[in-house]
Structure 1
Amino acid sequence: MLVRVIAMDLPLWHRILVLEILRGFCVEARTLRILFQNFDLHPNNSNIVEGMVKALARVVSSVQ
């Protein structure tokens, strides 16, 4: 998934591209709500929105 790519040892341009895609999901409230309702709210599914928020928080906190 896109969130895992951020932690990989990939070229900077690749990680930036993934962050831009994740940012696109986060600024679109309807898409974010649909993802949350279809994944995060169900106990057997992956927590997609939680993973995106955690990945973005990791990146933001690591910027110096």
Structure 2
Amino acid sequence: MPTEAQMLKCIVLCQVLSNCYRSIELFRYDSERKEIFLIAGKQGTIEITIFANGEWRYDVA
């Protein structure tokens, strides 16, 4: 189960992606690593990892 910090950060980041007209192609919660992973953009060029403490990492593929 995601932490409260993860859930709040996920909502904020999904809203930002939506405001920028970026589609969310993949949303996954990894219960072993306790991370939320998002892939966004038409070609899946935006990758976001949200860690249990609410911090996040942004990668452009």
**TM-score range with shorter-chain normalisation?**
0.3 to 0.5
TM-score where L is the length of structure 1: 0.34
Higher helix share: 1
TM-score where L is the length of structure 2: 0.35
Higher strand share: 2
With CA pairs under 8 Å and 6+ residues apart, which has the higher RCO, 1 or 2?
2
Larger Rg, first or second structure (1 or 2): 1
